[in-house]
Amino acid sequence: MAKEVPGKVLALIPAFNEEKSVGKVIDEVRKHQRDYLDEIVVVDDSSTDKTKEIVQDKGVEVVSHVINIGVGGAVRTGYRYAIQEEFDYLVLLDADGQHDPKYIPKLFNKLIEDECDLVIGSRFLNESHKGYSYVRKAGIIFFTKMVSFLGGIDITDVTSGYRVYDVDALKKLDRNKDDHWAIEQSLEASRRNLKIEECSVEMPIREEGKSQFDLETFFWYPIRMIDVLLRVIIFR
Amino acid sequence: MRGIELVGILVGIYLLYKSFSLIRNKREDVLNFIIWIIVGFSLIIAGLFPQIFSYIMNLLGMERRAYTMFAIGIFTSYILLFWIFSKIKELKEEISELNEEISIKNSIEDNRE
């Protein structure tokens, strides 16, 4: 049976200390391997737990960072891998299980049918965001409005990391930052006239692993928001 | 000679000594060497001939020599701080790129084996 996506497709899973969830995520992604994916790659951002061993035991390709850089750095390594190994499409999903692989067909169908460069999985096109804290929701809505205004696009969830790309479009984008990379990338993509669409994807609050929204994050959140806001305005 | 002038001279001599030993062992580049030599000599000259600061003090419209010294020191530190921040940022980017390249290279080589 032929694959549903014309071209070579990579599933990229950046991971840092995700031993509790990465195995399950790989098993779920594999269900779509025959129809949609050619290869699964986990970029291990120098985890200190058993993430790497679990991925290797599953027989999945693992690219291990020598030093810990941050999620944006792991994503960059994945992009570089996709370009270097001449993949045509890339699907990016988190290792914490928040991005359900059952949406991979839906995201790819949107990308192919609408001839998009980038499709973002949005939790604001359904009810799944309702369990999020007010601070988190306010942050996401604020950045989404800002990017929509500055980039002249109409999106609902700019911070979502569940994305499907045409690799040719990735080549046109600059190196993203280590933190809050999704916001800048979305804005840059809109400035470069790449076609961006969204798909409704449920993303309930993560159950496994350590959430990136801990007390420290809340403390730094306003400062980081100002930093990202300035970066976006200055480099827009 | 006042205590502060003596401290200035000693710090200047230390900077000259360290810069010379680093460049002799090829552990410092020429530009850095020149910068620290200038700073070291400036401190020694300022310690030996403090009246120079009277001239600069008048030029800057300040009231005391000590304030002039501190003002110049602070402004110079700002420039150095800015340079250090830019350099750290640049190096961080390079490390990050190397990290990406090495990790992909290792992964491809592991697969071949």
Question: Residue ranges of the domains in chain A?
Answer: 9-234
User: What part of B 36-95 touches A (C-beta under 8 Å)?
Assistant: 95
**Residues of chain B contacting residue A53, judged by C-beta atoms under 8 Å apart:** none
Q: Which of B95, B96, B104 sits opposite A63 (nearest CB)?
A: B104
**Within a 10 A sphere around the Cβ of A110, how many other Cβ atoms?**
18
Task: Give dist(CA A143, CA A184) in Å, integer.
Answer: 10
pTM for this prediction: 0.79
ipTM of the assembly? 0.77
pLDDT digits (tens, 9 = 90+) for A113-128: 999 999 999 999 998 8
For B104, nearest residue in chain A (alpha carbons):
A63
Say what the pLDDT of residue A153 is.
87
Per-residue pLDDT of chain A (236 residues; tens, 9 = 90+): 456 778 899 999 999 999 999 999 999 999 887 788 999 999 999 999 999 999 999 999 999 999 999 889 999 999 999 999 999 999 999 999 899 999 999 999 999 999 999 999 999 999 888 888 787 788 788 888 888 888 888 899 988 999 999 999 999 888 777 777 888 888 888 888 899 999 999 988 765 555 555 566 667 766 776 777 776 677 65
Contact present, A224 and A180 (Cβ < 8 Å):
yes
Q: Using the 8-state DSSP alphabet, how is residue B65 labeled?
A: H
User: How high does pLDDT run on average in chain B?
Assistant: 88
Q: Which of A61, A67, A84 sits opposite B99 (nearest CB)?
A: A67
Per-residue pLDDT of chain B (113 residues; tens, 9 = 90+): 788 889 989 999 999 999 989 888 877 788 888 888 998 998 899 889 888 878 888 888 888 877 888 888 899 899 989 999 999 999 999 999 999 999 999 988 887 77
CATH fold for the domain made of A9-234? Spore Coat Polysaccharide Biosynthesis Protein SpsA; Chain A (3.90.550)
Pairing verdict, β A163-166 and A118-122: antiparallel
Taking alpha carbons only, the member of A232, A162, A233, A165 closest to residue A199 is A162
Q: Using the 8-state DSSP alphabet, how is residue A122 labeled?
A: E
